[in-house]
Chain A
Amino acid sequence: MTTEELEQLLAQQPIALLHRLARGRVQRHFRAGKRRLIEVLLRHSAENRAGFESDLVTLIGERQVRPALPSPQTPAARKPKSPSPARQSMHKSAEPESHELAITLSSWLEGLGVPPPKSFVADAWQEEAIAKLKEGDVVVSVPTGSGKTYVAVEAARRAIAENRTVIYTSPLKALSNTKYTEFSKIFGADQVGILTGDRRDNGQAPLLIMTTEILRNLLYDAGGGEIDVRLDTLGLVILDESQYIADPERGVVWEETIIFCPSQARMLLLSASIGNPHDIAEWITSIRPTPCHLVRHSVRTVPLRAGYLHPNGKLAPLFRTVGIPHGHPSHLHPEAKRLFAQYEDETLPSGRRR
């Protein structure tokens, strides 16, 4: 739907429907006239047009269904009976919450538990990332906890099998140490080495773990003519947590590493979900000999649910739906909404309400 179409459609709707649409989207919408309301609605829905449109369509659908409902009174006959126009509009505006029934706590907690043990099967995106690494560099942007490490391990295993050196970098020394222990268990202690600012173990191993700064320094020295033997056989560079490229102080180190990385080595960038992974992939394609493939995946392996815990110990779902309603931050569960309003009322000093 284009903006003009949407505007026309909105203009055809009765004002009550517009007010219902504005609930939770626009503040003080009841003060606005129809034209102003349409304008404000369009502006506020710019970020999430799809959600807005779907809400509009449901509301219109509901309106068309209602006259068909068996009602003993015609609308005209009902009118004089209703206590006041204000009351009536209140009734109407209370409806959008009820049309999509909010879930109960027990259904929110349902499914909690331990899955039956089953043999590990790699996800499609993991397979894709490993396969694409044969053709060129790969950028992976997936949610936290989706199994990026599996990709790193598998890619490293293949490179080592081809007698290539693998360098794995992480931003924090603590993470480097954790990975060192983890990889030593997987590959065997003699296959893994670590280089950090103040530690140097097994520096000739085929899989080297280091902080990104150390790799940058190695690349500096190679550029200055002091070739490190390890860089000659370098087959794969894995940059974990590469969203650090946006770190105000250290981000430049990631950029330098990518710019100066030897051209025979493949790069594997592992990153948490970021907004513009295609930019990174495009950039790497533009400066490196092989094209860079983007593997992007936004569905979590273990689904996430959001809840609200009141200070008195009462638990409620945070959103009206079981899962997280992406793009609908205002779809709060009525219970959570009520409890939070109560919390704010009681804890904030009077006159400072948000």
Chain B
Amino acid sequence: MPPSIHPVDLIIALRDKHLTPAIVFLTSRRACDEAMQAFDHSRILLPPPRQEAIAAVLEKVIAQYPSIAEHPLIPTVQRIGVAAHHAGHLPSWKIAVEELMRHGCLDAVFATTTLAAGVDFPARTVIITQSSIRKSRDFMDLTIGEVQQIAGRAGRRGKDLVGFAIVTPSPYIDLNVLTKGFTGHPEAINSQFLISYPMVLNLLKAHPLDQIQPILAKSFAQFQLNQRAETLERKLDELGDRMEPFGPRVCTDWITEWHTFDQVRRQKSHRTPVRRHEPPEVAARFHFLTPGRVVGFGRNRGIVLRQYRSKGQKSPMITALRVGGGITESPASTVTEVSDRVLDCVDAPVYPWCTPESVEELLRHLEELPGRLPELPILVPKDDEPIPDAIVQTLGDFACPTCPSRSACQRDYPLAAKLRQEQHRHVKSIQALRTSLWHRFQEKIDVLQQFGYLTATAHLTDNGEWARLIRIDHSLLITELLRADAFNGADPAMLAAVMSSIAHDDDRPGAFPRVSSGLASLLGQVRKLATSLSPHEDPPLLRADIAAVTERWIGDPGLTWIGLCKSTTMAEGDIYRLLARTLEFLSQLHTLKATHPGLADTASRAIALLRRGVLEELP
């Protein structure tokens, strides 16, 4: 059996049961493209009137967006009535497909599940082929909300009486995830309150520091944290009730009192047996008798192979390799000399405690050793170590042994201590929940003060005044670059190229045009700065190959869109998105007219150069 249904069979089956038009959600862009290729030689053509209808709609869209006139998928779309729609396509192509769907001209659209939210057109049927979705480099099971979002595209209001969501298996499908998704309740959503540098600057611009905490308290994040804190508070009340019988007794804080008493009692009983009767020199030395150490036994010499403490022996033992090849067990006290020399020795778990090869090696080394070896200076501690203060308390200090409530204390202590510990834990977490947002905000303030965007009283400095206008990802890196005058003398192409490498966050590999040496050295500087900022802001990928695409587009005004696409393996839609995002970053730089006139001017020239061809034609 094939691992999944063939696209042609799928369309035949759908047409047969009158289940078209359908949206087929596939795992990847590649799967969509391959599905389209599968129709190359198929004979399931549309009747001529429908082919003409498609041509008519396409013609209208092409009149508006000439860039798709030569699109390679158009013949298949017209003949069969199927299309692909994913992030690798130009927005104008996606508009064309959406328009065709709206007119009801197509039988099926192959789309990626990743872009399910961007597929804003309904169909009679939705085909689901997978139960997991790629999220930041990892495959995750679809949530109930996602399954319902995908299935929700089925059934057009006013055009269908019912909608169909059809599961067709492919490798890596888990039917349970999907059936649960169909029948379950969508998950609750949680706030994701990410405090960014521009947010801190803009808030402090508008409000003094002492008003910030009430503003943060108005966030949904704090609302949800408060909900959790309230649950904990209810638990805390319950704990308080359960602690009722363990109130003050003879002493008010009997739990702590009993705890200390118990500790002291235990420690006393423990102290004697643990102690071994060995002279302090031997004890101190023993730590150094590690495998490979050269030691002296009176006149003789040896290499330690292992050390151990044995119940049958009074003092700690070592196993040593002696001159002549004998392996002996002897008490550590027979060692007279510990030399400052350790030989390599490969441990083994059984006799002779190291590998046979290393025994030979060691033996050779032992014979070659010089007559005198430097001795290891070992500090021998004084015999009477002072005992820590806490232990000095003797049992005589406690009233417990003769206290009237002793038996009650002894009985209740384990439960009471557990409850009290839980209480402390809850109190701490409630405090953390109530103040965590404010702490996170303060951390950001500290960083901004350190870089000189904020004064010690948390007012904006001159640098802060303009830095707050940069409201994009990696804002700290960009403002620091501006302060370091990194773009001094950079031409529009170079500026745009660096911006696009900061903006791009996709690690899809591919082939790209060469990067110019000027840009390469500038990117080197940017990378260095980004690394130095990494404790405060995650560094962007800063791909030089991506920068080269933008540099070419701006640097060579004669370059056509097709020419640009041919110079790289990047998908058309990705190039478009890269350039559009670069435009967004550049227009942010353009807002710094007042403080950085030169840079704003370069940015606006770069914008003018970027916006041509496909980028001009589309919104």
Residues of A within 8 A of B (CB): 109, 111-115, 117, 120, 143-147, 171-175, 177-178, 180, 194, 196-199, 213, 217, 220, 223-225, 241, 243, 245-249, 251-252, 255-256, 258-259, 272-276, 279-280, 282-283, 286-287, 300-313, 315, 318-319, 324-330, 332, 340, 343, 346-347, 354
Enumerate 20 A-B pairs (CB-CB under 8 Å) in ascending A order: A112-B18, A144-B153, A145-B153, A172-B118, A173-B619, A177-B91, A197-B584, A243-B189, A246-B191, A258-B220, A259-B219, A302-B162, A304-B155, A308-B168, A309-B10, A309-B168, A318-B179, A329-B179, A329-B180, A332-B179
B544 interfacial by beta-carbon distance below 8 Å: no
Interface-located stretch among B47-55, B194-202, B421-429: B194-202
A329→B182 contact, CB < 8 A = yes
- Select one of B98, B122, B157 contacting A178, CB under 8 A: B98
Which residues of chain A have C-beta atoms less than 8 A from B584's C-beta?
Answer: 197-198
* Nearest B residue (CB) for A120: B158
Given A313-B13, A318-B179, CB of A272 within 8 Å of CB of B149: yes
B188 interfacial by beta-carbon distance below 8 Å: yes
Which residues of chain B have C-beta atoms less than 8 A from A117's C-beta?
Answer: 158
Looking at the assembled complex, report how far the CB atom of A286 sits from the nearest CB atom of chain B, in whole angstroms. Answer: 7
Given A251-B191, A274-B145, A276-B188, CB of A307 within 8 Å of CB of B165: yes
- Select one of B1, B157, B202 contacting A343, CB under 8 A: B1
In the bound complex, what is the Cα–Cα distance between A279 and B190 (angstroms)? 10
B587→A197 contact, CB < 8 A = yes
In the bound complex, what is the Cα–Cα distance between A319 and B183 (angstroms)? 10
B118→A175 contact, CB < 8 A = yes
Interface-located stretch among B67-75, B169-177, B390-398: B169-177
Looking at the assembled complex, report how far the CB atom of A327 sits from the nearest CB atom of chain B, in whole angstroms. Answer: 6
Which residues of chain A have C-beta atoms less than 8 A from B156's C-beta?
Answer: 145, 302
Interface-located stretch among B221-229, B365-373, B376-384, B445-453: B221-229
Given A109-B17, A197-B587, CB of A305 within 8 Å of CB of B189: no
Which residues of chain A have C-beta atoms less than 8 A from B205's C-beta?
Answer: 223-224
Looking at the assembled complex, report how far the CB atom of A334 sits from the nearest CB atom of chain B, in whole angstroms. Answer: 14
Which residues of chain A have C-beta atoms less than 8 A from B17's C-beta?
Answer: 109, 315
B164 interfacial by beta-carbon distance below 8 Å: yes
Looking at the assembled complex, report how far the CB atom of A205 sits from the nearest CB atom of chain B, in whole angstroms. Answer: 15
Looking at the assembled complex, report how far the CB atom of A212 sits from the nearest CB atom of chain B, in whole angstroms. Answer: 12
In the bound complex, what is the Cα–Cα distance between A307 and B178 (angstroms)? 11
- Select one of A178, A213, A304 contacting B151, CB under 8 A: A304
In the bound complex, what is the Cα–Cα distance between A177 and B195 (angstroms)? 29
A275→B182 contact, CB < 8 A = no
B5→A311 contact, CB < 8 A = yes
B510 interfacial by beta-carbon distance below 8 Å: no
Looking at the assembled complex, report how far the CB atom of A121 sits from the nearest CB atom of chain B, in whole angstroms. Answer: 11
Among A194, A196, A308, A346, find the residue whose CB has the most chain B CB atoms closer than 10 A.
A308
Looking at the assembled complex, report how far the CB atom of A285 sits from the nearest CB atom of chain B, in whole angstroms. Answer: 10
Given A243-B189, A259-B219, A304-B165, CB of A220 within 8 Å of CB of B471: yes
A275→B3 contact, CB < 8 A = no
A329→B184 contact, CB < 8 A = yes
* Nearest A residue (CB) for B148: A273
Looking at the assembled complex, report how far the CB atom of A25 sits from the nearest CB atom of chain B, in whole angstroms. Answer: 13
Which residues of chain A have C-beta atoms less than 8 A from B153's C-beta?
Answer: 144-145
Given A197-B584, A343-B1, CB of A330 within 8 Å of CB of B179: yes
In the bound complex, what is the Cα–Cα distance between A59 and B199 (angstroms)? 60
Looking at the assembled complex, report how far the CB atom of A181 sits from the nearest CB atom of chain B, in whole angstroms. Answer: 9
- Select one of B145, B151, B215, B220 contacting A245, CB under 8 A: B220
Given A223-B202, A272-B152, A307-B165, CB of A252 within 8 Å of CB of B193: yes
Looking at the assembled complex, report how far the CB atom of B201 sits from the nearest CB atom of chain A, in whole angstroms. Answer: 9
Looking at the assembled complex, report how far the CB atom of B291 sits from the nearest CB atom of chain A, in whole angstroms. Answer: 44
Which residues of chain B have C-beta atoms less than 8 A from A248's C-beta?
Answer: 192, 194
Looking at the assembled complex, report how far the CB atom of B500 sits from the nearest CB atom of chain A, in whole angstroms. Answer: 13
A286→B179 contact, CB < 8 A = no
Which residues of chain A have C-beta atoms less than 8 A from B149's C-beta?
Answer: 144, 272
- Select one of A143, A301, A303, A313 contacting B12, CB under 8 A: A313
A306→B18 contact, CB < 8 A = no
Which residues of chain A have C-beta atoms less than 8 A from B603's C-beta?
Answer: none
Looking at the assembled complex, report how far the CB atom of A46 sits from the nearest CB atom of chain B, in whole angstroms. Answer: 14
- Select one of B155, B160, B183 contacting A324, CB under 8 A: B183
Pairs of residues from A and B, 8 with the lowest C-beta to C-beta distance, nearest first: A144-B152, A302-B155, A223-B206, A197-B584, A275-B188, A246-B189, A276-B188, A251-B192
B35 interfacial by beta-carbon distance below 8 Å: no
B163→A347 contact, CB < 8 A = no
Given contact pairs A144-B152, A279-B188, A309-B13, a sample of 14 additional A-B residue pairs in the complex whose CB atoms are under 8 Å apart = A112-B19, A146-B157, A220-B471, A223-B202, A223-B207, A224-B206, A251-B194, A252-B194, A255-B193, A303-B162, A306-B166, A313-B13, A327-B184, A328-B183
Residues of B within 8 A of A (CB): 1-6, 9-10, 12-13, 17-19, 91, 94-95, 98, 117-118, 120, 122, 124, 127, 145, 148-149, 151-169, 171, 174-176, 179-180, 182-196, 199, 202-203, 205-207, 215, 218-221, 223-224, 227, 468, 471, 580-581, 583-584, 587, 619
In the bound complex, what is the Cα–Cα distance between A113 and B162 (angstroms)? 7
A198→B175 contact, CB < 8 A = no
A309→B166 contact, CB < 8 A = yes
In the bound complex, what is the Cα–Cα distance between A201 and B145 (angstroms)? 35
* Nearest B residue (CB) for A304: B163
Given A114-B161, A217-B471, CB of A283 within 8 Å of CB of B220: yes
Which residues of chain B have C-beta atoms less than 8 A from A109's C-beta?
Answer: 17
A255→B191 contact, CB < 8 A = yes
In the bound complex, what is the Cα–Cα distance between A300 and B164 (angstroms)? 12
In the bound complex, what is the Cα–Cα distance between A272 and B95 (angstroms)? 23
Which residues of chain A have C-beta atoms less than 8 A from B188's C-beta?
Answer: 274-276, 279
Among B124, B145, B175, B224, find the residue whose CB has the most chain A CB atoms closer than 10 A.
B175
In the bound complex, what is the Cα–Cα distance between A273 and B160 (angstroms)? 21
Looking at the assembled complex, report how far the CB atom of A307 sits from the nearest CB atom of chain B, in whole angstroms. Answer: 4
In the bound complex, what is the Cα–Cα distance between A318 and B154 (angstroms)? 15
A279→B223 contact, CB < 8 A = yes
B224→A279 contact, CB < 8 A = yes
Which residues of chain A have C-beta atoms less than 8 A from B190's C-beta?
Answer: 246
In the bound complex, what is the Cα–Cα distance between A124 and B27 (angstroms)? 38
A347→B152 contact, CB < 8 A = no
B145→A273 contact, CB < 8 A = yes
Which residues of chain B have C-beta atoms less than 8 A from A315's C-beta?
Answer: 13, 17, 166
In the bound complex, what is the Cα–Cα distance between A316 and B196 (angstroms)? 51
In the bound complex, what is the Cα–Cα distance between A326 and B182 (angstroms)? 8
Which residues of chain A have C-beta atoms less than 8 A from B163's C-beta?
Answer: 300, 302-305
Which residues of chain A have C-beta atoms less than 8 A from B174's C-beta?
Answer: 354
A279→B227 contact, CB < 8 A = yes
* Nearest A residue (CB) for B473: A249
Which residues of chain A have C-beta atoms less than 8 A from B117's C-beta?
Answer: 171-172, 241
Which residues of chain B have C-beta atoms less than 8 A from A178's C-beta?
Answer: 95, 98, 120
* Nearest A residue (CB) for B158: A115
Looking at the assembled complex, report how far the CB atom of A15 sits from the nearest CB atom of chain B, in whole angstroms. Answer: 27
A243→B162 contact, CB < 8 A = no
Which residues of chain B have C-beta atoms less than 8 A from A213's C-beta?
Answer: 471
A347→B3 contact, CB < 8 A = yes
Which residues of chain B have C-beta atoms less than 8 A from A300's C-beta?
Answer: 152, 155, 163
B619→A194 contact, CB < 8 A = yes
Looking at the assembled complex, report how far the CB atom of A63 sits from the nearest CB atom of chain B, in whole angstroms. Answer: 27
In the bound complex, what is the Cα–Cα distance between A346 and B13 (angstroms)? 22
In the bound complex, what is the Cα–Cα distance between A72 and B186 (angstroms)? 51
Which residues of chain A have C-beta atoms less than 8 A from B221's C-beta?
Answer: 255
Among A198, A225, A243, A286, find the residue whose CB has the most chain B CB atoms closer than 10 A.
A198
In the bound complex, what is the Cα–Cα distance between A206 and B573 (angstroms)? 32
* Nearest A residue (CB) for B223: A283
In the bound complex, what is the Cα–Cα distance between A199 and B617 (angstroms)? 12
Given A198-B583, A308-B166, CB of A249 within 8 Å of CB of B194: yes
Looking at the assembled complex, report how far the CB atom of A242 sits from the nearest CB atom of chain B, in whole angstroms. Answer: 10
In the bound complex, what is the Cα–Cα distance between A255 and B587 (angstroms)? 24
In the bound complex, what is the Cα–Cα distance between A78 and B503 (angstroms)? 78
* Nearest B residue (CB) for A343: B169
Which residues of chain A have C-beta atoms less than 8 A from B186's C-beta?
Answer: 272-275
